[in-house]
Structure 1
Amino acid sequence: MHNMPNEVTEVFAAYPLKVKQALLQIRQWIEHVASENLQIGELSECLKWGEPSYITLNGIGTTLRLGRVRDSDSKFALLVHCQTRLVADFKEVYPDCEYDKNRAFLLDSAQPLPEQIIKHFILLALTYHLKR
């Protein structure tokens, strides 16, 4: 997944600088989490709903999208399919984090990125179907 598709590059380029920097860091963590867990295997990077999206080629994960929160120059989201239990389950472990219903884990690029929490969310998304 090292080479970013052109359409994904264009979307990242359109984000406000701090959001772009945060999301590019998270993209690196997605690669890192996938490389550390052999069950995840290879990832596909594409656009879904106009947002950079990451999915396991072997089907064990749910799609993880990276997006900007509308009307904010600093907020962004890690989004998953709204019919998964991922966000609900994550809220039980991290109740003090910010969420958008059952579809997104919200973050603010004006704050330090909680690396371990984000990596945990990435791991849960990329291995979602293993636990079902």
Structure 2
Amino acid sequence: MSRNDPPFADPAVAACFQAVPEPARSGMLALRRLIFETAAETPGVGALQETLKWGQPAYLTPETKSGSTIRIGLPKQGGYAIYAHCQTSIIPDFRSLFPDDFAFEGNRAIHFPDDVPPPAEPLRLLIRNALTYHLRRKQGAA
């Protein structure tokens, strides 16, 4: 962990990260840092809750209910990944902007090779869209 990493509030989440082998752990921690940074700089998101869902670190917006859950974890084929709810348009919307830049798993995930850090700038858009998914849908319906 670097000095910029937020502390773990949940010991089970900390243990989950600790159990991930390097170099995937570094990539997952970089995604975690990016999720917290993006949440902090995005109006309407509020405090994040970091918990485990399906054994993977998951990030929710319980205070504002502005977003859809984001998870990070280890796909079966290796590497590490960021996941969004497959019944949302989060991944398809992102894929329409970056069709050839990422390894997509259907409507639910983006995979990264173990030894490649996640590209922060394009992923901020994905994370921001996930953390404001419900907020944006409400505004669109108004």
The alignment's TM-score, normalised by the length of structure 1, stands at: 0.91
Rounded Cα–Cα distance in structure 2 between residues aligned with 1:118 and 1:15: 21
Counterpart in 1 of 2:85?
81
Rounded Cα–Cα distance in structure 2 between residues aligned with 1:101 and 1:33: 24
Query: RMSD across aligned C-alpha pairs, in angstroms?
Result: 1.4
Q: CA deviation at 1:5?
A: 0.9
Give the structure with the larger strand fraction. Answer: 1
Counterpart in 2 of 1:120?
125
Structure 1: 5+ residue stretches without partners: none
Rounded Cα–Cα distance in structure 2 between residues aligned with 1:29 and 1:70: 23
Q: CA deviation at 1:71?
A: 3.9
Counterpart in 2 of 1:70?
76
- Which of 29, 34, 38 is equivalent to 1:33? 38
Q: Deviations over 1:65-120 (max 9, x none)?
A: 00111142xx1111111111111111100101111111111112322421111211
Tell me the secondary structure at the aligned position of residue 131 of structure 1.
helix
- Which of 86, 89, 98 is equivalent to 1:94? 98
Counterpart AA for 2:96: E
Tell me the secondary structure at the aligned position of residue 99 of structure 1.
strand
Q: CA deviation at 1:55?
A: 0.6
| Percent pairwise identity | 35
Q: CA deviation at 1:53?
A: 0.3
Tell me the secondary structure at the aligned position of residue 117 of structure 1.
helix
Rounded Cα–Cα distance in structure 1 between residues aligned with 2:117 and 2:74: 17
Which entry has the higher C-alpha Rg, 1 or 2? 2
Rounded Cα–Cα distance in structure 2 between residues aligned with 1:55 and 1:112: 23
Counterpart in 2 of 1:60?
66
Q: CA deviation at 1:41?
A: 0.6
Q: Deviations over 1:36-75 (max 9, x none)?
A: 1131111101000100000112111000000111142xx1
Counterpart in 1 of 2:112?
107
Tell me the secondary structure at the aligned position of residue 45 of structure 1.
strand
